[in-house]
A and B are shown apart, each in its own frame.
Chain A
């Protein structure tokens, strides 16, 4: 025992005593408050912080078991450089330990040259959880356009279309149901409050409370997810066909039931805006403002003309000599063939169920009802539809998301009590006060986008290796970067990328086609990985910069959707090993490369720091110092980092006026005119530079539409392959690095599904596959081996694999458990969605019994 103690004090710098330290969890990005018990310098236990008003002491299994990350013996313990020039999966890089100075100089020397030559030659993949916006600012300061989720893509695992369409529709980066009032919640391919999606712990209780007071839950999902198991109704749907379901909901609301919120549509959307036959606004010749038809005065007026008595939603009109119809009429005409019979054939959901859910949505919306909260009267529309990655990581995800927003607009259920409320992209995240959204010149809502540029102007030759300049409405198509890296000139680039800097991501495991990925990684001169352990991608890295664990670092953030204020994270033990705070690594590099000025300037803008509480541009700050300034700035000098270290957080609930109808007089786009216009301008540019002829690229201009239309996903109808493969996550397995957490893996091993592939019992019978059989899963790219778990809880055409497992890194807990499946997915433009930017995450496969 004494031996062990001695070893312990040798391994770790020990400070004595028993202490309880407030912090927040970073095992995912939801930042739940925690209290860490530290005994003689060793962190021994994590519990939820009862003073965090989001969780009140509750915490999920990931957070509870976070100490296994801190004390993971397989952490990288010092900076490493490769001595074996040969790169490949499983080939030992023969790491050599070096000093920080040496490691940083190797990186800085190369990046300095790149920055002088062409900063775009650096690809910067940054996904350090909750502080990704701050981290990505470093790439913008460096000057590369290849910054964000590049090389891996949020496109295949996040909900890019939600972010893009949510922003355009009502300034929502992410959408949440207003669970204090909601009576009817439809979850589309997401497990909000039951597993994945955001704010799991806060929402788990809120949804359970809402259900106890009578809220109905309908879950549309190919798999009997946890949410589906708890739901009042489970509608198993064929993957990638949610769009068809929404289109027929719109059809039913506007054609059959004629149930929609006329008042909301007329006053709060562009539904009455008059459109020419080509789908453009009819504009006032003098002011250029879009016009609407006043039924009472039988004349067209500017949309904001106070003399408008009653705006027309239907009919056709002539203004000047132009034939025109209101946008709502345009929508009606567009959806007239999308009846439930049609949708049923595509989705496999029976017609009567489509009708029932739509009717119940409309009925529960209580169109016309109002509620008074904190002295303000609001419409009460207690129905919500929420989707996330499951629905959206498809080529038609953007269109589906548009259709979802249109259904909600028809019901008047956006940003009102009981409906879908938004987490907007204002400075609230960094401690600022919530901001109202303003209207643009056409009267439509203009989203905030603090620290994030979501529209990419056309440019030739292009800069963005995710083809961003050809796909202007994709947040990122990061999964295309490896493909383009292999042959940039083929896509019109006039440069070759040379370096990749990864900050907390593992593209080799979380993207698609392995051959493309590995060849691209090999092609780059310098791959640098800021990481906590040696993951699969590290097999291809040249320099490893060991990051400290979140329990050794500071942070200050607000990741909630309904609170104002900040929450601290702080070291609970002295830094173990020779590791560093990732943000400090970035600052060291910025200083060595010579762009400290730009880095500080970017941070000032991103964190909304203003004098006297702003960073001096030429000074080198530690992350801790930056957070102290952030705390002071947003509290008007009243609070500093030390205050948060003691108190944990200063959250207050958002007021009704900060939460509901935050766009006041701006209108929402029932008719997404801006998407159509961006598409038209793109078409001109593509034509001008002959992009299609010269490079053979089809960037699918048809998706730039003001109204959604039915478009199947690429594998739809590929009858040679009879099953759809989907992946899923649970509350324990969000984020693939959970596969190195022994406590979670132990549970996964006991769980029937996590390390197997779910196959429908009847389907399996036809293929002579029994429970527990080894099977081959084969897509058009390759085949992988897996163990079958038969279940009744999955659509007969679908098999499902739990994401995050199937690791091959050198870690005894993770290695060889679960199914490696990412390589079954193709990476190309055809399998990418243009609106929002998504990678097709469903592929058709054949399944056979393995001998």
Chain B
């Protein structure tokens, strides 16, 4: 069993519902994001394209972050999901450097947008996460374990994000993977990412540029 996310770049419209759903589901403090949509413009007027590229932790099959973790805080579940044990994390940031996808952040634990927290923000102080430790996308393992999709997948207005077990032969993700072109980001790092990007002919021009690019504007 291996959980994968399929992101359909034909369908993504950069509305950022995924970013916000993730933030709220995972009770992230202000200015912390575990998934982001990158925007890239290309071409010359009037032949201009803009590509929206959602990026998250790729839950790599060979996760560089787990290898470098000195305390064993970063670990991989049997179903492929890469998680952090916050009690073991010492905030050394080795994993931040090792990750080819910039998918990890440090929990700054500034709880509120205001001088005193709103009731929804008060919960954050009770969260298991500890200040100064590392945060990352969990594929919403707490939701998956209850049979739900990750929050970003559940809310996506265009259904650009799909989620499923790649080892199960049926299912929505296989349909899409069969029908469209596939690429993964920065495969050259050899970590075997488990987020698949798909696109069709109508997005070819813009995708070609994005998939080769090492830097993107946020």
Contact A208 B45 (CB under 8 A): no
Q: Interface size bucket, B side?
A: 35 or more
Q: Which residues of A contact B23 (CB under 8 A)?
A: 743
Contact A742 B120 (CB under 8 A): no
Q: Which of B15, B25, B36 contacts A731 (CB 8 A)?
A: B15
Contact B120 A813 (CB under 8 A): no
Please provide the chain A residues from 47 to 81 with a CB less than 8 Å away from any CB of chain B in the complex. Answer: 47-48, 57-61, 64-65, 67-68, 71-73
Counting CB contacts under 8 A, is A730 at the interface?
A: yes
Counting CB contacts under 8 A, is B146 at the interface?
A: no
Q: Which residues of B contact A71 (CB under 8 A)?
A: 118-120
Q: Interface size bucket, A side?
A: 35 or more
Q: Which residues of A contact B36 (CB under 8 A)?
A: 750
Q: Which residues of A contact B218 (CB under 8 A)?
A: 750
> Please, which residue of chain B has its CB at the minimum distance from the CB of A226?
B13
Please provide the chain B residues from 46 to 89 with a CB less than 8 Å away from any CB of chain A in the complex. Answer: 46, 48-52
Quick one: CB contact mask for A651-683 with B, threshold 8 Å, 1 for yes?
000000000000000000000000000000000
A484 to B123, CA, bound (A): 52
Counting CB contacts under 8 A, is A692 at the interface?
A: no
Contact A747 B157 (CB under 8 A): no
> Please, which residue of chain A has its CB at the minimum distance from the CB of B9?
A230
Contact A232 B202 (CB under 8 A): yes
> Please, which residue of chain A has its CB at the minimum distance from the CB of B151?
A47
Q: Which of B39, B119, B125 has the most CB atoms of chain A within a 10 A radius of its CB?
A: B119
Known pairs A8-B119, A230-B13, A752-B217; A204 contacts B158 (CB<8 A): yes
A279 to B192, CA, bound (A): 72
> Please, which residue of chain B has its CB at the minimum distance from the CB of A60?
B17
- Tell which of A94-102, A533-541, A599-607, A788-796 binds the partner: A788-796
Known pairs A226-B13, A731-B15, A792-B48; A42 contacts B120 (CB<8 A): yes
Contact B156 A58 (CB under 8 A): yes
Quick one: CB contact mask for B108-139 with A, threshold 8 Å, 1 for yes?
00000110101110110110000000000000
Q: Which of A59, A235, A750, A792 contacts B155 (CB 8 A)?
A: A59
A67 to B46, CA, bound (A): 41
Please provide the chain A residues from 295 to 313 with a CB less than 8 Å away from any CB of chain B in the complex. Answer: none
> Please, which residue of chain B has its CB at the minimum distance from the CB of A762?
B45
Contact B157 A746 (CB under 8 A): no
Closest CB-CB distance, A624 to chain B, in whole Å? 24
Q: Is the interface of A mostly helix, strand, loop or mixed?
A: mixed
Q: Which residues of B contact A234 (CB under 8 A)?
A: 46, 48
Known pairs A58-B157, A58-B159, A796-B45; A42 contacts B15 (CB<8 A): no
Contact A44 B19 (CB under 8 A): no
Contact B157 A60 (CB under 8 A): yes
Q: Which of B20, B24, B31, B126 has the most CB atoms of chain A within a 10 A radius of its CB?
A: B20
A214 to B40, CA, bound (A): 25
Q: Which of A43, A47, A73, A201 contacts B157 (CB 8 A)?
A: A201
Counting CB contacts under 8 A, is B30 at the interface?
A: yes
> Please, which residue of chain B has its CB at the minimum distance from the CB of A43?
B120
Please provide the chain A residues from 732 to 769 with a CB less than 8 Å away from any CB of chain B in the complex. Answer: 732, 742-744, 746-747, 750-752, 760-762
Q: Which of B43, B49, B120 contacts A44 (CB 8 A)?
A: B120
Counting CB contacts under 8 A, is A438 at the interface?
A: no
Q: Which residues of A contact B51 (CB under 8 A)?
A: 229
Contact A730 B39 (CB under 8 A): no
Q: Which residues of B contact A44 (CB under 8 A)?
A: 120, 123
Contact B10 A64 (CB under 8 A): no
Q: Which of A194, A742, A746, A747 contacts B13 (CB 8 A)?
A: A194
Counting CB contacts under 8 A, is A804 at the interface?
A: no
Counting CB contacts under 8 A, is A195 at the interface?
A: yes
Contact A195 B15 (CB under 8 A): yes
Q: Which of B19, B25, B41 contacts A793 (CB 8 A)?
A: B41
25 interchain pairs, CB-CB under 8 A: A1-B125, A4-B122, A47-B21, A47-B154, A57-B154, A58-B159, A61-B17, A64-B20, A64-B21, A64-B24, A65-B20, A68-B120, A211-B202, A212-B10, A224-B50, A226-B13, A229-B52, A235-B46, A730-B15, A732-B16, A746-B31, A761-B45, A762-B45, A793-B48, A794-B45
Taking A39-B123, A61-B15, A211-B10 as known contacts, 15 extra A-B pairs with beta carbons closer than 8 A to each other, sorted by chain A number, are A4-B122, A44-B123, A45-B24, A47-B21, A58-B17, A59-B155, A59-B157, A65-B20, A68-B120, A73-B118, A205-B157, A211-B202, A212-B200, A226-B52, A234-B48
* 7 shortest interchain CB distances as A-B pairs: A742-B113, A229-B50, A204-B157, A71-B118, A61-B20, A208-B158, A208-B11
